[in-house]
Amino acid sequence: MAIDPFGNGRGPELRDAMTALRVCDSLAAGVSNDGLCVTDDAGRIGFATQRFASLLATGPDDLTGIDLRSLTVPAGAAPPAAFSAADGTPFEWSLRRGDGTALRTTARVKPIEGPGGGRAGFVVAVTDVTAVYQAERELDRTRQLCEFMAESMPHPVFTSDPDGTDDYYNRAWIAYSGLDAARSTSGGWLSVVHPDDVARARSAWDRAYRDGTPFCQQIRLRRASDGVYRWFESNATPLRDRDGSVLRWVGSAIDVHDLRLATETRSVLDTLDHMVSIRDEDGELTTFKVVSVK
């Protein structure tokens, strides 16, 4: 049912608004991404631009007379309060398209002034943000997956901002160090590093994020459960954008304590020269030789 845009003494204002919108529609065809329509003060559409109709997967004439607010998704949801305020403030609004799918938009509503300062209707502008919404959902899923992977790791994992300020530690780090995330970030992790390793670790980390080069250091970290320091190999790699700028740092710490001790022991044995002496029954040295264990 088409509305009578000239009823109730408000016709000239609505007519002028729709005429202006028709002109804008012809000039902006294929240029503007916004869909525009004019409604009466009850929200019924008097005119819709081609862009507005195409966003809703229908024709402009098919929209005439429809209460725009009845297209709100989900069905039965309260109409946006923005129609009451009508101050042009952007708001998120999902509309039902002709094919039954939902159109996610950023919308703005402005009043059309009628006689005596009253409100004759509305001009509504909608911008399709469906692709943005889908991209944000995909990004959220990616973040959830990354967090799940980090939290599933049996060894400490951490991240830092481009300036090298750490801002995330996984549960493995919290369990080992006894420091929660708040006490670990912003350099708090250094309180767990062996005093003899702090200066070296801090210097290497500062150099890595300053130069944008990977960080790799073997340092001793104190275990909260018994206060024992164990050797860890800590690595951090910069994540870069297409232009090469550092977006984030992602790092981990692997317990190499047993391997390091075994390696050091083997190294000593590989280079140790054994002095062997043979004495007679009176205790006199009779033979002396060096045995090299290789």
Rounded CA gap, 164 and 201, in Å? 13
Instruction: Tell me, yes or no, whether 71 lies in a domain.
Output: yes
Interval 24-80: pLDDT, tens: 544 444 445 788 888 888 888 988 888 899 999 998 889 989 998 889 888 766 667
* Domain membership of residue 91 as a residue range: 7-128
248 and 165 share one domain? yes
- The mean per-residue pLDDT over the stretch 166-193 comes to 91
Peptide bond into 74 cis (omega under 30): yes
- 1 pLDDT band (50/70/90 cuts)? very low
18 and 57 share one domain? yes
42 and 123 share one domain? yes
Instruction: Tell me, yes or no, whether 149 lies in a domain.
Output: no
pLDDT for residue 17: 58
Helix H, strand E, coil C: the string for the chain is CCCCCCHHHCHHHHHHHHHHHHHHHHHHCCCCCEEEEEEECCCEEEEECHHHHHHCCCCHHHHCCCEHHHHECCCCCCCCCHHHHCCCCCEEEEEECCCCCEEEEEEEEEEEECHHHCEEEEEEEEEECHHHHHHHHHHHHHHHHHHHHHHHCCCCEEEECCCCCEEEECHHHHHHHCCCHHHHCCCHHHHHECHHHHHHHHHHHHHHHHHCCCEEEEEEEECCCCCCEEEEEEEEEEEECCCCCEEEEEEEEEECHHHHHHHHHHHHHHHCEEEEEEECCCCCEEEEEEEECC
Which of 113, 128, 143 is the last residue before a domain boundary?
128
123 and 11 share one domain? yes
Interval 224-258: pLDDT, tens: 999 999 999 999 999 999 999 999 999 999 999 99
The answer to whether 231 and 260 are in contact (CB under 8 A) is yes
Interval 202-220: pLDDT, tens: 999 889 988 999 999 999 9
124 and 158 share one domain? no
Torsion, Cα of 162, 165, 170, 176 (10° steps): 140
In the numeric block, the tokens 């060894």 are attached to 155
Longest dimension (CA), the chain: 134
Instruction: Tell me, yes or no, whether 37 lies in a domain.
Output: yes
Instruction: Tell me, yes or no, whether 91 lies in a domain.
Output: yes
47 and 112 share one domain? yes
Q: Decide if pLDDT at 199 tops 90.
A: yes
Instruction: Tell me, yes or no, whether 284 lies in a domain.
Output: no
Instruction: Tell me, yes or no, whether 273 lies in a domain.
Output: no
Rounded CA gap, 210 and 97, in Å? 51
Interval 72-107: pLDDT, tens: 888 766 667 767 777 788 888 899 999 999 999 988
14 and 102 share one domain? yes
Q: Which two tokens stand for residue 47?
A: 């005119």
Instruction: Tell me, yes or no, whether 81 lies in a domain.
Output: yes
pLDDT for residue 278: 54
Number of folded domains that form the chain: 2
Which of 238, 255, 272 is the last residue before a domain boundary?
255
pTM (two decimals): 0.58
Q: Decide if pLDDT at 286 tops 80.
A: no
The pLDDT mean for the chain works out to 81
- 20 pLDDT band (50/70/90 cuts)? low
168 and 104 share one domain? no
Which of 87, 111, 128 is the last residue before a domain boundary?
128
Q: Between 133 and 294, where is the model more confident? A: 133
CATH of the domain at 19: 3.30.450.20
Instruction: Tell me, yes or no, whether 262 lies in a domain.
Output: no
